[in-house]
Amino acid sequence: MSNGILVLHAADYRSFHINCGGQDVKNGRILYEGDLNIEVSAAARNYHRPGSNWGFSSTGDFMDDENFNDDKYTLRPNISAVVSELYKTARRTPLSITYYGYCLENGDYTVRLHFAEIQFTDEIPGYRAARRVFDIYIQGKRVKQDFNIKEAANGSNTDITIPFNTTVTDRNLEIRLYWAGRGSTVIPRRGDYGPIISAISVCSGNRTYCEGEN
């Protein structure tokens, strides 16, 4: 048991790939496992992907709407975005979300975080002025402060991948996105702020375990 999430495997893994807020999807030669199938609706939730070596924990609730399944977001069908399937869904949280990798072989890793601002799009009146910013932590160290997806990608509905190097020493990896109270809080409406992420890819320093990834 780790962080309230049951770990079922003892084997050493060297990678994991997550399609946040969506179903399983293949991107190139890499299968990104989806985290869509969560039945609970609560301000705090834990999830472990059955048969895999990762899970996540999310805190906070979007209090100003009546949607009890609002921790996921899907690109609106009427938006003319040129993004791959990997970026058409996302997981979001009003406060904090932490993804965990378990049973990893100790050593150096490359973490690639995939983002696209598919909610605060420039094509929707009132959303253009919205400013989503959040902090990114890897292994407890803040690696990005006030990260703004739209600014980093030079627009909405545009994907961007941010790579980070890190080290695993206790077979566990932690990736946390945290809203620190900055950015928009009432535009387009209260409760729509907070971190959002499209996908995560974690690879051992030995690239043979992630062949085919861009």
The per-residue pLDDT for range 97-150, each reduced to its tens digit, is 999 999 999 999 999 999 999 888 877 777 777 788 999 999 999 999 999 999
Q: Classify domain 15-210 by CATH architecture.
A: Sandwich (2.60)
- Determine the pLDDT at residue 66: 53
Summarised one tens digit per residue, pLDDT across range 32-71 is: 999 887 654 555 577 888 889 999 998 866 555 555 455 6
Average pLDDT, integer, range 168-184: 90
For range 181-210, the mean pLDDT? 76
Handedness of CA 87, 28, 205, 48 (dihedral sign): positive
Residue with tokens 């062949």: 211
Q: 91 - beta bridge partners? A: 72, 197
pTM: 0.84
CA-nearest of 69, 80, 8 to 39 is: 69
Which residues pair with residue 2 across a beta bridge? 5
* pLDDT at position 73 over 80: no
pLDDT score for 196: 93
Peptide bond into 188 cis (omega under 30): yes
66: Cα separation from own chain's centroid: 23
What residue ranges do the domains of the chain occupy?
15-210
In this predicted structure, the answer to whether residue 15 has a pLDDT above a threshold of 60 is: yes
Please tell me the predicted confidence (pLDDT) of residue 115.
96
% of the chain at pLDDT higher than 70: 72
In order of 13, 137, 193, the CA distances from 185 in angstroms are 40, 22, 6
pLDDT at site 120: 83
Helical segments of the chain, H only: 149-153
Beta partners for residue 99, in sequence order: 56, 175
CA distance 11 to 34: 21
Model pLDDT, residue 153: 93
68/141 Cα distance (integer angstroms): 32
Instruction: Kindly tell me if the per-residue pLDDT of 6 is higher than 50.
Output: no
Q: What is the mean pLDDT of the chain?
A: 81
